[in-house]
């Protein structure tokens, strides 16, 4: 694979000139090469020829005045590529957002809001708010994704989500983004419907270390909070049956074993009400933050503002 020599650009980068030279296809090629690690694989994913990928890549390298990938198997992004890759995802998603909004308006909508919610809010708050919101604003198009915090934040940073309903943890606070506290929710210990502990009149933290656990993923704020609680209670950390916070699989594991797990009170109460799980009278001594909203714009548009107000009204 031959690459022509790129002359370093000693001039200060000008945004207007850069955007005039970079097209949508350049960004697609850049991301494809980074994702696949070779020009041939990138060409196949984009359904174009390898020489075409080389030319598009050469164009963007000329525009920024330096190499974007180091030769090798696979090709590795240079330091110069890092900011381009980070913003390319955002720019492509911005373009997709424009298309979605135009399509929504052409279909009769007056606006669009893409929302992401954690299980703690999706259990009851989010459905209640959205049902009322759609009655009041039937022409605003809504979409909802439910995921764990890490997944939601990744989507938010790629501009795939406009509004997060999440824990206002250290990450949310450090982001400096606009946010609104909605309600307090403690995490509770949960178990299957026939767990031996349910026959006891009194349950303490020391009683639960003998049972296996479904634990949050190592390194997450919730896992850290669980570990801190065991440490503060002065009891041994339990055997981990599985690292999982799956709302679908965990209830099956809990009802098939004597394992225990940790879950938000809102989600646990909803599952207990539906006869899926039971809650134990134990809550974490170290919590990870109240539940609230996070959004991007300091002055959100009318559709997003209306949805934020709807959540605030529901939680008053």
Contact 100, 124 (CB under 8 A): no
What is the band of 13 on the pLDDT scale with cuts at 50, 70, 90? Answer: low
Residue showing tokens 């309903």:
165
CATH numbers and ranges of domains, the chain: 15-90 (1.10.10.10), 109-184+290-314 (3.40.190.10), 187-283 (3.40.190.290)
Decide which of 278 and 219 is more confident. Answer: 278
Write the DSSP assignment of 168-225 as a string of letters.
--HHHHHHT--EEEEE---EEEEE-TT-GGGG-S---GGGTTTS-EEEPPTTSHHHHH
Q: Is pLDDT of 66 > 90?
A: no
Residue 159 CB coordination number (10 Å): 18
Average pLDDT over the chain, rounded to an integer: 88
pLDDT at residue 1 in the model = 42
Largest Cα–Cα distance in the chain?
77
Could you tell me the CA-to-CA distances from 193 to 129, 133, 204, 276, 299 in Å, in that order?
30, 36, 19, 7, 47
Percent of the chain residues topping a pLDDT of 70: 95
Q: For 177-199, what is the mean pLDDT?
A: 95
Least confident of 108-122, 131-145, 178-192, 243-257: 108-122
pLDDT at residue 277 in the model = 96
pLDDT at residue 91 in the model = 80
Q: Is pLDDT of 200 > 70?
A: yes
SS3 category, 283: strand
Give tens-digit pLDDT for 228-244.
999 999 999 999 999 99
What is the band of 3 on the pLDDT scale with cuts at 50, 70, 90? Answer: very low
- Tell how many helices (H) and how many strands (E) occur in the chain: 13, 12
pLDDT at residue 15 in the model = 66
What is the band of 211 on the pLDDT scale with cuts at 50, 70, 90? Answer: very high
What is the band of 259 on the pLDDT scale with cuts at 50, 70, 90? Answer: very high
Report the distance separating Cα 154 and Cα 150, nearest Å: 6
Q: Is pLDDT of 286 > 80?
A: yes
Mean pLDDT: which of 96-100, 129-133, 207-211, 245-249 is highest?
A: 129-133
Distance of alpha carbon 258 from the chain centroid: 31
Report pTM. Answer: 0.70
Q: For 86-96, what is the mean pLDDT?
A: 79
Two tokens, residue 119:
């299980």
- Give the chain's end-to-end CA distance (angstroms, integer): 63
DSSP code of 274? T
Give tens-digit pLDDT for 141-154.
899 999 989 899 99
What is the band of 105 on the pLDDT scale with cuts at 50, 70, 90? Answer: confident
Contact 243, 217 (CB under 8 A): yes
pLDDT at residue 179 in the model = 96
Length of the chain: 316
């Amino acid at each position: 694979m031959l690459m022509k020599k790129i002359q370093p650009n000693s001039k200060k980068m000008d945004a207007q000139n850069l955007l005039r030279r970079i097209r949508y296809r350049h960004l697609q090629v850049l991301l494809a090469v980074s994702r696949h690690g070779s020009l041939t694989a990138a060409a196949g994913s984009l359904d174009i020829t390898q020489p075409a990928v080389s030319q598009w890549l050469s164009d963007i390298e000329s525009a920024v005045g330096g190499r974007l990938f180091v030769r090798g198997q696979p090709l590795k992004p240079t330091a110069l590529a890092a900011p381009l890759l980070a913003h390319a995802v955002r720019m492509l998603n911005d373009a997709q957002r424009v298309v979605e909004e135009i399509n929504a308006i052409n279909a009769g909508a007056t606006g669009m809001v893409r929302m992401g919610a954690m299980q703690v809010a999706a259990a009851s708050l989010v459905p209640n708010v959205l049902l009322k919101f759609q009655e009041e604003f039937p022409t605003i198009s809504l979409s909802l994704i439910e995921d764990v915090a890490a997944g939601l934040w990744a989507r938010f940073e790629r501009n795939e989500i406009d509004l997060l309903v999440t824990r206002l943890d250290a990450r949310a606070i450090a982001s400096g983004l606009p946010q609104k506290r909605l309600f307090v929710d403690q995490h509770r210990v949960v178990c299957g419907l026939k767990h031996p502990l349910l026959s006891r009149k009194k349950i303490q933290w020391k009683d639960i270390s003998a049972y296996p656990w479904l634990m949050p993923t190592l390194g997450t704020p919730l896992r850290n909070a669980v570990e801190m609680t065991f440490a503060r209670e002065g009891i041994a950390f339990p055997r981990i049956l599985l690292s999982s916070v799956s709302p679908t699989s965990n209830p099956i594991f809990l009802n098939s074993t004597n394992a225990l797990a940790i879950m938000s009170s809102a989600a646990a109460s909803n599952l207990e009400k539906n006869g899926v799980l039971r809650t134990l009278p134990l809550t974490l001594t170290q919590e990870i933050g109240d539940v609230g909203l996070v959004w991007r714009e300091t002055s959100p548009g009318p559709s997003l503002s209306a949805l934020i107000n709807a959540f605030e009204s529901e939680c008053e």
